């Protein structure tokens, strides 16, 4: 009986691990065996352990519940980047280096004040780790033993919770519940063996609202020891977040509950977001975590559909995966999507909630759409020389005015695009797919579409050829019947059984 290792039989589409042998421990087997045979034992036939050097792959197949018994002390040699995994790419971010001490990967997080730039022109005093917001990505391999020191250089107590990581309760980092808080200037040590793989996270679990609102989150990525899926060529790690930073202020307001005005990917808002650069034909994986305070984010990618392959609970069986173009990343969750980048171009990738692709949107503004200022501006300028009516045609064009704005603030929308202003902000970035690319770490510039593959103003000839008039008069108009409201029929003159009224 070995419920741990029956994974792949459950997933007909995954290939066998390359050169890896599955293993089990005696204790694990016994624990699993105790509930074996129940409804939870969804897997097919057991596979015998063949190698002591690799841990079981808990994430494939349906045997999770039987394997959620974190242990201590037993682990595998540290997984090495390149050999055991392809390191993730962290746009606008970085991966935390480690040292190996007696076969244990040793990390050191330092919680501290960080002045963070959200985009050129907007900085704020946040809380983060190791001089960055969010914290650096912790990257390890299934079976690794990790020891993570956490030094608190904030003035507030804190803890770190390893979100989604299977570990002993006392290592879970919940202030008050599983440990006392780490006081300022104290250093705590967390140590556990990684028994799963996937896209996980870490964040403060002491005064969460404040500390996460101030930026204290990070990604915790565990690569499989024995990958079942092909290794990606490009493996991106993105963390979503939302903030409230008053225009002109320089401190996130963690008390905000609804009106977030700075929406970020890896703590940057467009145009500060670093594009995702891939080569045509690359197998691309994008891992997206969301530790926003209050909002889920449907992340939409242009030019492709992708397959949702993993959640923070693990790999989705191939039979259960589905294609889509927007993946909803709920708060406190991660989603991993994959696709093959076979469509070169500059492709927008963004949250599809339209207020989430705005920067520092002011909701106190009057609705100016369609207002005709006429000579009013001249009159008001007698009082306020800098006045002009704005917003009567929407929010576009803001960056072009060159007007004085509050210090330390960025326009609601606007990045300089190759042709025009990009009327986007916030949770917006660009996937740049190129046939030829020398350096994947350098922005390849704007995509130049081949002739005939780009929308241009219609020529007179093309209009005539297609029988289209430029004034729109030749276009079909909605028939009246199509737009009229439905009119309910008149009431029955006398409802059956209704009493007579009004003496008729």
Partner 1 sequence: MRTKAPLAAILASSLLAGCSSMKPGLGFDDVKQSIAERSGEQVHWNNGTPEDAQAKAAVATILEGELTADQAVQVALLNNHELQAVYEELNLAQSDVVQAGLLKNPVFSGDFRFGVSGVGPGVDLGIAQDFLSLLAMPLKKGRAEAAFEAAKVRVTAAVLDTAFEVRTAFYDYQAARQMREMRETVVEATGASYELAGRLRDAGNIRELDLSNERALKEQSKIELAAAQAEEIHLRERMNALMGLWGSQTLWVAAARLPALPDQQPPQDGLEAKAIRASLDLALLRREAEIAARSAGMAKPFAWLDGTEIGAASERELEGEWSVGPSLAVPIPIFDQGQAALGAAQARYKQAAERTIARAVEIRSRVRAAQSGALSAFERARYYEKVILPLRQKILDETQDQYNAMQISGFQLLQAKRDQIAAGAEYIASVHGYWQAKSELDQILSGRMTPFERTTRTAGAISTSTGASATGEHQ
Among 81, 406, 418, 449, binds partner 1 (CB under 8 A): 406
Phi, psi of 421 (to 5 degrees): -70, 135
Shortest distance in whole angstroms from residue 382 CB to partner 1: 7
| Residue 455 touches partner 1, criterion: CB under 8 A | no
The strand pairing partners of 340, in sequence order, are 283
Evaluate whether 421 touches 414 at the Cβ level (below 8 Å): yes
By C-alpha distance, which of 260, 320, 329 is closest to 301? 329
Residue 382 touches partner 1, criterion: CB under 8 A: yes
Q: Is 387 in the site for partner 1 (CB under 8 A)?
A: yes
Are 271 and 386 in contact by the 8 Å Cβ rule? The answer is no
354 phi and psi angles, rounded to 5 deg = -65, -30
| Cα→Cα distances 418→410, 446, 448, 458, Å | 20, 6, 9, 20
Question: Per-residue x/- mask for partner 1, residues 322 to 361, rule CB under 8 A?
Answer: --------------------------------------x-
Confirm if 113 and 154 have CB atoms less than 8 A apart.
yes
CB of residue 367 vs partner 1: minimum separation in angstroms?
4
Q: Which stretch binds partner 1 (CB under 8 A): 274-282, 349-357, 391-399, 470-478?
A: 391-399
Q: Does 456 bind partner 1 (CB under 8 A)?
A: no
User: In terms of CB distance, is 170 or 248 closer to partner 1?
Assistant: 248
Distance CA 5, CA 1 (A): 10
Site for partner 1 contains 371 (CB under 8 A): yes
Contact call for residue 250 and partner 1 (CB under 8 A): no
Residue nearer to partner 1 on the CB measure, 13 or 407: 407
User: Is position 369 an interface residue for partner 1 (rule: CB under 8 A)?
Assistant: yes
Do 127 and 211 form a contact (C-beta atoms < 8 A)? yes
Number of residues that bind partner 1 (CB under 8 A): 37
Our CA angle for 393, 394, 398, nearest 5°, is 100
Contact 425, 121 (CB under 8 A): no
- Residue of 364, 452, 467, 476 that binds partner 1 (CB under 8 A): 364
Q: Which stretch binds partner 1 (CB under 8 A): 22-30, 94-102, 296-304, 397-405?
A: 397-405
Select 36 or 368, whichever has its Cβ closest to partner 1.
368
- If one asks whether residue 248 binds partner 1 (CB under 8 A), the answer comes out as yes
DSSP strands (E only) in 249-366: 262-265, 276-279, 283-290, 297-301, 306-311, 314-315, 323-324, 326-329, 333-340, 345-351
Q: Compute CA distances 281 → 85, 268, 302, 437, whole Å.
A: 20, 28, 16, 12
- Residues β-bridged to residue 203: 161, 217
Q: One symbol per residue from 130 to 159: x for binding partner 1 (CB under 8 A), - otherwise; what is it?
A: ------------------------------
Q: Whole-number minimum distance, CB 104 to partner 1, in Å?
A: 51
Q: By CB under 8 A, is residue 180 in contact with partner 1?
A: no
251 binds partner 1 (CB under 8 A): no
- Selected from 395, 422, 427, 431, the binder of partner 1 by CB under 8 A is 395
Nearer to partner 1, 87 or 396 (CB): 396
Q: Give the residue, chosen from 249, 380, 440, 468, that forms a contact with partner 1 under the rule CB under 8 A.
A: 380
Q: Does 391 bind partner 1 (CB under 8 A)?
A: yes
Residues with Cβ within 8 Å of 340's Cβ and at least 6 positions away in sequence, in order, are 281, 282, 283, 284
Least separation, in Å, of the C-beta of 121 and partner 1? 11
Integer Cα distance of 324 and 266 in angstroms: 23
If one asks whether residue 399 binds partner 1 (CB under 8 A), the answer comes out as no
Which of these ranges, 309-317, 344-352, 378-386, 448-456, lies near partner 1 under the rule CB under 8 A? 378-386
Q: Are 434 and 279 in contact (CB under 8 A)?
A: yes
Q: Residue 228 has which token pair?
A: 């079942």
SS3 content of the chain, % helix, strand, coil (to 5): 10, 30, 60
Contact between 126 and partner 1 (CB under 8 A)?
Answer: no
Backbone Cα Rg of the chain:
28
* Residue 385 burial (10 A CB sphere; 0-12, 13-18, 19+): exposed
Cβ proximity to partner 1, 308 vs 390, nearer residue: 390
From the list 12, 73, 386, 452, which residue makes contact with partner 1 (rule: CB under 8 A)?
386
Q: Check the CA dihedral 392-396-401-406 and report its sign.
A: positive
For the CB of residue 339, give the shortest distance to partner 1 in the complex, in Å.
37
Residue from 93, 411, 415, 425 that binds partner 1 (CB under 8 A)? Answer: 411
Q: How many CA atoms lie within 13 A of 441 on its CB side?
A: 6
Shortest gap between Cβ of 415 and partner 1 (angstroms)?
16
Q: Given the complex with partner 1, which of 356 and 434 has the nearer CB atom?
A: 356
Q: 404 or 485, CB closer to partner 1? A: 404
What are the residues binding partner 1 (CB under 8 A)? 247-248, 360, 362, 364-374, 376, 379-380, 382-384, 386-387, 389-392, 395, 398, 401, 403-406, 409, 411-412
């Amino acid at each position: 009986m070995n419920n741990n290792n029956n994974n792949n039989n459950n997933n007909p589409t995954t290939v066998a691990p390359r050169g890896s042998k599955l293993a089990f421990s005696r204790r694990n087997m016994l624990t699993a065996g105790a509930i074996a045979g129940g409804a939870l034992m969804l897997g097919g036939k057991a596979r015998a352990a063949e190698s002591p050097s690799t841990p079981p792959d808990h994430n494939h197949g349906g045997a999770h519940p039987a394997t959620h018994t974190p242990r201590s002390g037993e682990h595998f040699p540290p997984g090495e980047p390149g050999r055991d995994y392809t390191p993730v790419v962290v746009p606008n971010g970085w991966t935390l280096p480690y040292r190996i001490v007696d076969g244990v990967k040793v990390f050191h997080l330092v919680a501290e004040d960080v002045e963070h730039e959200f985009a050129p022109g907007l900085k704020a005093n946040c809380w983060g780790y190791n001089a960055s917001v969010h914290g650096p990505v912790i990257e390890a391999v299934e079976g690794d033993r990790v020891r993570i020191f956490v030094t608190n250089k904030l003035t507030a107590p804190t803890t770190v919770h390893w979100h989604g990581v299977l570990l002993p309760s006392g290592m879970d980092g919940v202030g008050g519940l599983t440990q006392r808080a780490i006081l300022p200037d104290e250093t705590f040590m967390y140590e556990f063996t990684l028994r799963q793989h996937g896209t996980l996270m870490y964040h403060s679990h002491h005064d969460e609202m404040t500390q996460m609102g101030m930026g204290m989150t990070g990604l915790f990525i565990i690569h499989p020891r024995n990958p079942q899926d092909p290794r990606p060529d490009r493996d991106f790690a993105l963390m979503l977040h939302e903030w409230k930073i008053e225009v002109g202020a320089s401190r996130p307001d963690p008390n905000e509950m609804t009106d977030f005005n700075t929406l970020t990917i890896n703590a940057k808002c467009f145009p500060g977001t670093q594009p995702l650069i891939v080569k045509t034909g690359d197998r691309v994986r994008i891992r997206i975590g969301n530790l926003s305070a209050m909002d889920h984010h449907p992340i939409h990618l242009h030019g492709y559909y992708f397959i949702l392959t993993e959640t923070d609970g693990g790999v989705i069986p191939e039979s259960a995966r589905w294609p889509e173009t927007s993946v909803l990343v709920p708060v406190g969750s991660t989603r991993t999507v994959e696709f093959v980048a076979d469509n070169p171009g500059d492709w927008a990738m963004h949250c599809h909630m339209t207020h989430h692709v705005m920067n520092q949107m002011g909701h106190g503004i009057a609705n100016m759409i369609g207002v005709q200022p006429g000579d009013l501006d001249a009159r008001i300028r007698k009082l306020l020389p800098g006045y002009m009516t704005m917003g009567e045609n929407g929010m576009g064009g803001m960056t072009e005015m060159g007007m004085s704005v509050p210090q330390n603030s960025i326009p609601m929308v606007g990045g300089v695009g190759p042709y025009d202003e990009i009327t986007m902000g916030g949770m917006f970035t660009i996937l740049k797919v190129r046939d030829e690319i020398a350096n994947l770490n350098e922005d390849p510039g704007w995509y130049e579409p081949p002739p005939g593959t780009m929308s241009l103003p219609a020529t007179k000839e093309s209009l005539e050829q297609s029988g289209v008039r430029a004034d729109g008069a030749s276009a079909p108009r909605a028939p009246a019947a199509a737009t009229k409201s439905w009119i309910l029929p008149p009431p029955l003159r006398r409802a059956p059984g209704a009493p007579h009224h009004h003496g008729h």
